[in-house]
Chains A and B, each alone.
Chain A
Amino acid sequence: MRQVGPRRFPSDVAPTDAWYIDDVAFDDTDIGGGSARFPTTRVSAVLGAQSAEPEVRARSFGALVAAYWKPVYKHVRIRWKKSNEDAKDLTQAFFMRAMEKDFFDAYDKEKGRFRTFLRTCLDRFLSNEDKAEKRLKRGGGGAFLTLDFEGAEAEIESTPPRGDPEQSFDREWVRSLFGLAIEALRADCAARGKEVHFRLFERYDLDDSGGGRPTYAALASEFGLKTTDVTNHLAFARREFRRVLLQTLWELTAGDEEFRREARLLLGAEPEQPA
């Protein structure tokens, strides 16, 4: 059973009206009996963005914006040293132009990662914008996407991007992807009545407020559970996190080969190779 329908992404990671296709989640009874294969029924947004069907195209485009807008914004701010107002305009303009001019149609998965392709498109776009000063002509147009630029700006101030621009873009992309996966996990747990599982995950694996990670015994006491329940709930949440993370990644890659290469990077299985 597969659900297809609109789902609004959380405001800090996605534009409005992004569409989302979801597989039926594994149930607890799948433990030990799950397929040895990763489910790949979810549509690739990279390929969908090249589709001839307007609806598929728009939906895929939304998914790509959700994953990439923040790395794009930070890249414009840091690599191109633009003010936050200019960076907002340019981020909007880049995605608008990408959709209008079918930028992503030119992507060939045989030639490298989509992530690298998108960054190249972005740099070319920004270079052209700089030369022609088209941004000034564009000024005054309404916002094309509703994006939380203030949040992204606060992130730049609290954690300034480091390393060279390419590495920084890639790191922000990974951060964005993990953000999407966490929100998908939150929604998934809520839909299945497993909010406690998610809260435990949040408390143990996402909290870096200092003081170190709590012990399972401390969590058991805090949540009124047995320690074994904490162990089991966390194992469940982590397993589901891996699943939604890989599903999200699958959606953002153009095929099995790129998916595996990106998964290697994401899961730390091997050092990043140049695209």
Chain B
Amino acid sequence: MLSDEVVRHLKEVADLPDLAGTRYRILRRLGQGGMGSVYLAEDTELRREVALKALSIPDSSGDLASRLLVEARLLARLEHPNIVPIHDVGTLPDGRVYYVMTYVRGRRLDAWRHEAPARPVYLRLFQKVCDAVDFANARGIVHRDLKPENVMVGPFGEALVMDWGVAKVQDAAEERGVLVGTPAYMAPEQASGLTTLIDQRTDVYALGAILYYLLSGRPPYDAAAHAGALQQVVQGPPRPLRQIDPAIPRPLAAICARAMARLARDRYTTARELSEDIDRFLDRLPVYAHRETPLERSARFLDRNRVLVYLVGAYLLMRVIVVLVTAR
């Protein structure tokens, strides 16, 4: 009888890419995705570590191989500092397609967030993610599976958007109703299977969902809940951020809500617009997503002009003291 340990080992053995005849040598498995596994491998020619993604599941029709090739070619088009670069693509002796990319030594965004970085730090990092997505969107590519698990934070604080396996080239023909993505971060139109409505604003929604995670430390929808995240997305908006944590500033909560608007037309049109509103918040300027009350405006003015306020206050105090001394 095969023990549980042997079965577990055989699962890995059966999935292991046979890299005979290539310049790569498998070191260990890094992770798994919907289509394939990612391995840490050594490029024996250049003597450096790389990440190698190979199809795991069999491919009777060849369409998975095509998808992986599409992903590789998409990545090759996306030369951007916040998108993981691709180096090579090939076919294994058993017919499976693989591609090789830079091995990012870092942590996933969700793990990084658990270390409680300061708010301005994670907001600046979030803007880098927005930059990468905006760059891809501007070239007609929609990621469709943006989530904290698909963003790596490098050792120098760089953000790299990963896993473009279900990315879609806008206007490309696609089967209607095919559901791809991760429910907790999916836009309503995506969760409803309305694939024809998917465009860059679908990515803007997912960026809003990532911002929700960064601000609250939890995904917008609970995947383990009874109704299921997909159904929750279709049914209505997530719990308001300030109900989870009243300390979250209203303008940030509003930016997040606007990015995650139920209707695409109510969202930021581009990831760049979203990033710019974050910029305004960080610079203590009014954000487009939130109409301030006079009190909020005053508070923001005082906060933004702290030095001036201190100087005026000190001057007025001095005048009062002078008046009091003179009156005596």
- Where the two chains meet, the residues of A that have a C-beta atom closer than 8 Å to any C-beta of B are 30-32, 34-38, 40, 151, 154-155, 158-159, 171, 174-175, 178-179, 182, 205-206, 208, 232, 235, 238-239, 241-243, 245-246, 250, 256, 259-260, 263-264, 266-270
Give the number of residue pairs across the A-B interface with Cβ within 8 Å.
Answer: 116
Instruction: Report whether A206 and B95 are in contact in the complex, using a CB–CB cutoff of 8 Å.
Output: no
List 10 additional contacts besides A37-B62, A206-B6, A232-B20; criterion CB under 8 Å: A36-B59, A171-B7, A179-B2, A208-B5, A238-B13, A241-B14, A250-B60, A268-B15, A269-B36, A269-B37
Beyond A158-B1, A179-B2, A206-B2, whether A37 also contacts B59 by CB under 8 A is yes
The answer, yes or no, to whether B94 is at the interface (CB within 8 Å) is yes
The answer, yes or no, to whether B100 is at the interface (CB within 8 Å) is no
Instruction: Report whether A34 and B94 are in contact in the complex, using a CB–CB cutoff of 8 Å.
Output: yes
CA distance A206 to B3 in the complex (A): 9
Instruction: Report whether B59 and A268 are in contact in the complex, using a CB–CB cutoff of 8 Å.
Output: no
CA distance A241 to B18 in the complex (A): 12
CA distance A56 to B313 in the complex (A): 95
Shortest B216–chain A CB gap in Å is 25
- Where the two chains meet, the residues of B that have a C-beta atom closer than 8 Å to any C-beta of A are 1-7, 9-16, 18, 20-21, 32-37, 56-62, 65, 91, 93-97
Instruction: Report whether B93 and A175 are in contact in the complex, using a CB–CB cutoff of 8 Å.
Output: no
Instruction: Report whether A37 and B60 are in contact in the complex, using a CB–CB cutoff of 8 Å.
Output: yes
- Residue on B nearest A206 in the bound complex, by CB: B6
List 10 A–B pairs whose Cβ atoms lie within 8 Å, in order of A's numbering: A36-B62, A37-B59, A37-B65, A208-B3, A235-B18, A239-B18, A256-B61, A259-B58, A268-B15, A268-B32
Shortest A221–chain B CB gap in Å is 22
Residues of B within 8 A of A175 (CB): 1-2, 7
Instruction: Report whether B57 and A263 are in contact in the complex, using a CB–CB cutoff of 8 Å.
Output: yes
Report which of A34, A155, A239 forms a contact with B1, defined as CB distance below 8 A. A155
Beyond A206-B2, A232-B20, whether A38 also contacts B10 by CB under 8 A is no
- Residue on B nearest A176 in the bound complex, by CB: B2
Residues of A within 8 A of B37 (CB): 268-269
CA distance A118 to B4 in the complex (A): 23
Beyond A36-B97, A174-B7, whether A246 also contacts B1 by CB under 8 A is no
Instruction: Report whether A260 and B94 are in contact in the complex, using a CB–CB cutoff of 8 Å.
Output: no
Beyond A37-B59, A270-B34, whether A178 also contacts B2 by CB under 8 A is yes
Residues of A within 8 A of B11 (CB): 266-268
Which of A31, A37, A206, A256 has the most chain B CB atoms inside 10 A of its CB?
A37
- Residue on B nearest A244 in the bound complex, by CB: B14
Which of B13, B32, B34, B59 has the most chain A CB atoms inside 10 A of its CB?
B13
Dominant secondary structure at the A interface? helix
Instruction: Report whether B95 and A35 are in contact in the complex, using a CB–CB cutoff of 8 Å.
Output: yes
- Residue on A nearest B35 in the bound complex, by CB: A269
Beyond A37-B59, A38-B59, A269-B56, whether A205 also contacts B10 by CB under 8 A is yes
Shortest B163–chain A CB gap in Å is 13
Beyond A159-B1, A238-B13, whether A34 also contacts B18 by CB under 8 A is no
CA distance A206 to B33 in the complex (A): 27
Instruction: Report whether B16 and A238 are in contact in the complex, using a CB–CB cutoff of 8 Å.
Output: yes
CA distance A179 to B3 in the complex (A): 11
Residues of B within 8 A of A269 (CB): 15, 32-37, 56-57
Which of A175, A179, A241 has the most chain B CB atoms inside 10 A of its CB?
A175
- Residue on B nearest A262 in the bound complex, by CB: B57
Shortest B70–chain A CB gap in Å is 14
Shortest A257–chain B CB gap in Å is 10
> Would you list the 3 A-B pairs with minimal beta carbon distance, nearest first?
A269-B56, A38-B58, A36-B95
CA distance A226 to B36 in the complex (A): 33
- Residue on A nearest B21 in the bound complex, by CB: A32
Beyond A260-B58, A269-B33, whether A243 also contacts B7 by CB under 8 A is no
Shortest A245–chain B CB gap in Å is 5
CA distance A239 to B32 in the complex (A): 20
Shortest B43–chain A CB gap in Å is 19
Residues of B within 8 A of A266 (CB): 11, 14
Instruction: Report whether A243 and B32 are in contact in the complex, using a CB–CB cutoff of 8 Å.
Output: no
Shortest B303–chain A CB gap in Å is 47
CA distance A265 to B2 in the complex (A): 18
Residues of A within 8 A of B13 (CB): 205, 238, 241-242
CA distance A38 to B93 in the complex (A): 12
Instruction: Report whether A178 and B7 are in contact in the complex, using a CB–CB cutoff of 8 Å.
Output: yes
Shortest A228–chain B CB gap in Å is 11
CA distance A175 to B97 in the complex (A): 28
Instruction: Report whether A267 and B5 are in contact in the complex, using a CB–CB cutoff of 8 Å.
Output: no
CA distance A109 to B95 in the complex (A): 28
Report which of B4, B15, B18 forms a contact with A267, defined as CB distance below 8 A. B15
Residues of A within 8 A of B65 (CB): 36-37
CA distance A34 to B9 in the complex (A): 26
Residues of B within 8 A of A208 (CB): 3, 5-6
Residues of A within 8 A of B16 (CB): 238
Instruction: Report whether A38 and B60 are in contact in the complex, using a CB–CB cutoff of 8 Å.
Output: yes
CA distance A241 to B12 in the complex (A): 12
Instruction: Report whether A246 and B15 are in contact in the complex, using a CB–CB cutoff of 8 Å.
Output: no
Residues of A within 8 A of B93 (CB): 30-32, 34, 239
Instruction: Report whether A235 and B20 are in contact in the complex, using a CB–CB cutoff of 8 Å.
Output: yes
Residues of B within 8 A of A232 (CB): 20
Beyond A37-B61, A239-B94, A243-B94, whether A267 also contacts B14 by CB under 8 A is yes
Instruction: Report whether A264 and B56 are in contact in the complex, using a CB–CB cutoff of 8 Å.
Output: yes
